[in-house]
Structure 1
Amino acid sequence: MYLPKQFNQPEHAATLMREHPFASLVTTDDTGFPFITHLPLKLVEEGSQPAMLLGHCARGNPLWGYLQKRPLALASFMGPQAYMSPKVYPDLQRVPTWSYLAVQARVEARLLDGEEAKDALLKQLIADHEPAYAAQWRALPADYTGKMLNAVTAFELRIVDLQCAIKLNQHRPEAHAAMHAAYAMGHAQEQALAAWMKKLGLV
């Protein structure tokens, strides 16, 4: 992605992927046209570094076949984003723009075989999103869970390259106070951007 140096902050990639796990996974179909799948991905770290993403899709989704034939893919995560008015600047010779946080991970896919591997992946997703459901999943009849597991294909996506864009007007400090005040009073996405401005020490 286009990534000016003032917005390049890879040290925040893991946080964004954990806080916004619903990703767009970009592969290509058999004609070479981009095929985008929207799905939750589980981040796995080695030490403190993002290393792998875990995911699954319906067996009927052609995604898994594309990953099997062409393992290289792109996972895109979008964090908070919002319009920014030129009113935040102290002068009038300015234009509107958009603030956003985003991560792109170039990945290499490997399909996971067997019910045990798929069950382990699903339990990790349950632990992240609804831990209380784990007991209900374990108590379901084996023939039912077997059918559910057979209906999905699981995969791991080894991260081979990672980019993280945090575009919060870092290079325009004269706008930071007004920008933060405007976002702090705005909708949920804007409030999230205001929180990131504080986290980065911009205000």
Structure 2
Amino acid sequence: MYLPPQFRGDDRQAVALMQSHPFASLISTDDAGLPFVTHLPLHLQQPHPAGGEAPFVLLGHVARPNPHWRYLQARPKAVVTFMGPHTYMTPRVYPDLVRVPTWNYVCVHCTVETRLIEHFDDKDHLLKHLIADHDPAYADQWRGLGEDYQHKMMNGIVAFELKVLELQCKVKLNQHRPEAHAAMRALYAQGGENEQGLARWMDQLGIGQGTETGKEA
């Protein structure tokens, strides 16, 4: 993606976004060479601190009737995107009138390589990660469903591991326009979920305290 240096985030910010907004878009090509997109939750598996240059890994699955897994099997490289809070920004936040609107947002793009997972135990391990992420109280119920039912459900999905080959994090919060920060922060604090989410990112990154300059994105 287009990533001006003033909006470039780091791995720590990327991890925070992927964990707080795990519903991703998995994008690859179909047999006609056209983009094919599946929207799905993904579990981020971080490398062990002692693992050196070990890559990030994303775990997920699709329904077996979804042809996406076949496209990934044939062409393992794909792109995954995560979209965090985003919202319109009015030019009214500037102290002068000769300005235009923009859109502020936080997102992550990953280039990944796919490995399909078919063994029952590996699928079960993957599903337990997703259950722990989104509904830990369901874990006992899943374990109590019985092996026959679990195997039937497992046969209905294709699971995969997505090794992250390249990661880009974009934090576009008008960093290069400090004259607007105070008004923008106050406006976002009074807004809805997305606006308040961006206000928290501004606070975490200390935006409004620097003097970055640059071009509009």
User: Structure 2 length as normaliser, TM-score?
Assistant: 0.91
From 158, 162, 177, the equivalent of 2:163 is: 158
Q: Secondary structure at the match of 1:132?
A: helix
1:103 to 69, 91, 108: 108
Counterpart position of 1:2: 2
Contact 2:83/2:107, CA 8 A, preserved across alignment = yes
Identity of aligned residues (%): 60
Aligned to 1:185: 190
Aligned residue for 2:56, secondary structure, equals strand
Task: Give the Å deviation of 1:161.
Answer: 0.3
Q: Please tell me whether residue 44 in structure 1 is matched to residue 48 in structure 2.
A: no
Match of 1:132 among 137, 147, 159: 137
Q: Could you tell me whether the CA contact under 8 Å between 1:110 and 1:156 is conserved in 2?
A: yes
Q: Aligned equivalents of 1:68 and 1:27: distance in 2?
A: 11
- Match of 1:16, SS state, is helix
* One-letter amino acid of the counterpart of residue 102, structure 2: T
User: Which residues of 2 match residues 51-66 of structure 1 at below 5 A?
Assistant: 51-66=56-71
Measure how far apart 1:143 and its partner are: 1.2
2 CA distance for matches of 1:91 and 1:191?
25
Partner SS for 1:53: strand
Q: What corresponds to 2:94 in structure 1?
A: 89
Aligned counterparts of 1:154 and 1:74: Cα–Cα separation in 2:
17
Q: Contact between 1:10 and 1:162, CA under 8 Å: does it hold in 2?
A: no
- Per-residue CA deviations over 1:64-116 (Å, capped at 9, x if unaligned) read 10110000000000000000000110001100000000000000000012111
Moved over 4 A (4+): none
Length-normalised TM-score, structure 1: 0.98
The residue matched to 2:174 in structure 1 has which SS? coil
State the partner residue of 2:36.
Answer: 35
**Could you tell me how far apart the structure 1 residues matched to 2:56 and 2:141 are?**
30
Counterpart Cα distance in 1 of 2:133 and 2:42 = 11
Partner Cα separation in structure 1 for residue 37 and residue 126 of structure 2: 22
User: What amino acid is aligned across from residue 142 of structure 1 in structure 2?
Assistant: E
Which one-letter code corresponds to 1:16 in the other structure?
A: L
**Alignment match, 2:203:** 198
Match of 1:119 among 87, 108, 124: 124
Q: Are 1:146 and 2:151 matched, yes or no?
A: yes
Q: Name the structure where strand makes up a greater proportion of residues.
A: 1
Q: 2 CA distance for matches of 1:187 and 1:127? A: 28
What is the letter of the counterpart of residue 70 of structure 1?
R
State the aligned residue count.
Answer: 203
Distance in 2 separating the partners of 1:58 and 1:176: 45
